[in-house]
Amino acid sequence: MKCNPTILPAALALCLAGLPAVAAGADQPGPPLDREEALAPVSAHEQGPSLDRTGDLVATNEVAQQAAADTRPEAAAAAAAYLDTNVDGVLHGSPDMTAQVALALVAVGGHDAKVAQLLDAIEAQVGAEGITPVQAASVSLLVTATGGDPWAFGGVDLVELVRADLADNGRCDQNGGYLSQVTNAAECALALTRAGVVVPQVALDTLAPQADPVTGGLLEWDGLLYAYPNASALDALTALDALDAVAGTRRHGLGARDFLWGYGEVDGPFDSTQAIVVNARVVQALAVVGEDVSAALSWLEAQQLPDGSLPDVAGSATPDLMATAHAAIAFSGRSLGTVGPGAHVVAYGSHPYVVRTTGADRYEVAANLATAWVDGSQTVVIASGQSFADAIPGSALAAHFGAPILLARQGSLPATTRAMLRELQPTDIVVMGGEAAVGPEVFNALHNYVVGGDVHRVDGANRYEVSANASYQWDPGTARQVYLATGENWPDGLTGGAEAGRLDVPMFLTKKDAVPSAVLRAMKDLGVTDVVVLGGTSAISTAVEWQLQNNGFATGRISGVNRYDVAAKVARGDAQPGPYAFVASGLNWPDALATGPLAAALASPLVLVKGDAVPGVTAQRIVTEKAALVSVSGGPVAVSGPVAGDLRLLTTYSPFEP
């Protein structure tokens, strides 16, 4: 499967895995059901509390030095030499820009005379003209890095100037600077931290609402997030890293990290269409939290001009001082906030990346999940986006075909579904359910999207017969152990369908007190020997187990105190850790349905979360999985931004690369 850097993060996970988009075959069966474990009651420890947002699960003293940072000493030296030659005083009357040039020289080393000259020029201007709080932040960073006194520089207490402005409204935007940008607040907070001063709580409180619930990135103060990440996210990540000991801050730093990581180009620059200074600042920010930035550094090095400078944008031959300064800092393996002694660096490596596949509605979410099939798919399964009954067995069936699920309305194909069908170019389309689920108009319209094949319908007199008829897509003898869920509700069937898909076996539905005859007949025709009953006796009574046993099937039950507990237990699979975990809402079904085939293709668990909390059993499943990447399906209405933040706070200590 080829990698496409433009696809969504969940699809990028599949691409990076290097796996074909197919489920495990019949020659790779899952382990037999451990009935004693499956029948065992849930312990209080396994139930666990819902994960709260106090940060208690995070070791706030997890401080690490910036170990083995990737450096480019020759490139750094050349950039610093250019700056030393071409900067003699305050740049354009901006002490903050000049301070950042001087910080670059400090980071590279060997330019003490020039740094002293620039410090004198800045101090003279500060004493004569004064300085704004935003400018004071950069100057304070320089003074601190060079061992000076930021409380008395040019007759100005830089630290108090910054602190008072932050304490006023948390934004550090008084008297100049680029108003209403996170970058100002971040650099001001960073300056205070480097000076050993506690950041006013109002600054952190003001920052919290700026976390974008979709991407994890940080919004502008005016509520806008540009189509590309700008310096606000970059500086904020660096500042949040330095402020990690403050309660509630790490979740925002992790969000900024995930935003930048998910946005970046594969094996190259962060964003080759953006200014060099943006790319250099991203490298600084990601390197300081332990990310591998070697590819981005190589790209930056390739942009360096013969005189050691770097241009404003890639391909230009005109030197730019700020691009050169920030590239020099990046080449030295440092960031704006880690130049000089005593820098505080925190490793984020123990936490998983959390990315989200979203859309305007359930139909677009399903379509976006299907972008994982970057080379197209020979088969596509179509299910109702309005009724779960006939759709539930479709997750396992799609995984059997190595196919995605797309959703349709009863009487129409949404535009996003049509567009994805054109992208996938399937040879065959399988429709789940009868005309009450997916109407004849839709069925006929689907013929316009098959390439050389046909459209097929898996239907039946009812939902139970639909599940039975779906099982005939498996060859007899290839699925000895199957899953059985209630047809009267959806949570157990959806998570069970994902696990059935991983094992390449069917997902059957049953009534509460009796197994429909069509289901029994299909099980016997398939050669089933073991049936895994999903859910407690309030969903499927013991009468069903007796009926199955009387018909020659061995049975076991996976039950729990609620749908979240059942999902976590079903997702145990072979209990082998892996790189990925998938999360969907436990309060609605379409996103989980569409996620099942992708989770199955990656042999990864699908677990459920509440609207406002991560259940303890869900958190524990992800931790046990040692997931490096947690892929959330659905927008913030389905899975809130705070819940995504809770997932980021899990400590999985993953040995895998996402």
Looking at residue 174, what is its pLDDT? 63
Distances (CA, A) of 500 to 205, 366, 481, 530: 45, 19, 9, 13
pLDDT at position 574, please? Answer: 59
Confidence of residue 356 (pLDDT cuts 50, 70, 90): very high
Q: What percent of the chain has pLDDT over 70?
A: 86
Domain map of the chain by residue range?
A: 9-56+354-649, 73-339
Q: Place 260 in a pLDDT band, splitting at 50, 70 and 90.
A: confident
- Among residues 136, 106, 108, the alpha carbon closest in space to that of 122 is found at 136
On the 0-12 / 13-18 / 19+ scale of CB atoms within 10 A, 440 is exposed
pLDDT tier at 214, thresholds 50, 70, 90: confident
| 15: helix, strand or coil | helix
pLDDT digits (tens, 9 = 90+) for 100-142: 999 999 999 999 999 999 999 999 999 989 999 999 999 999 9
pLDDT of residue 2: 27
Residue found under tokens 């919004």: 219
pLDDT of residue 209: 74
Has domain 73-339 been given CATH number 1.50.10.20?
Answer: yes
Asked if residue 566 has pLDDT above 70, the reply is: yes
Of 426, 433, 388, 422, give the one whose Cα is nearest residue 404: 426
Beta bridge partners of 584: 608
Task: Supply the pTM of this predicted model.
Answer: 0.87
pLDDT computed for residue 41 by the predictor: 27
φ, ψ (nearest 5 deg) of residue 415: -60, -40
Angle of the 491-503 helix axis to the 590-601 helix axis, nearest 10: 20
Mean pLDDT of 387-396: 95
Strand order in the sheet with 428-432: 405-408, 379-384, 428-432, 455-458
Q: Which residue has the higher pLDDT, 364 or 7?
A: 364
**pLDDT at residue 300, rounded to an integer:** 96
pLDDT in tens, 222-251: 555 554 566 567 777 888 888 887 777 888
pLDDT at 636 over 90: yes
Confidence of residue 64 (pLDDT cuts 50, 70, 90): very low
Strand bridging mode 310-311 / 319-320: antiparallel
Task: Provide the pLDDT for residue 436.
Answer: 95
pLDDT at 20: 32
Please give the pLDDT value at position 345. Answer: 73
Average pLDDT, the chain: 85
pLDDT of residue 104: 97
Q: Are 123 and 142 in contact (CB under 8 A)?
A: no
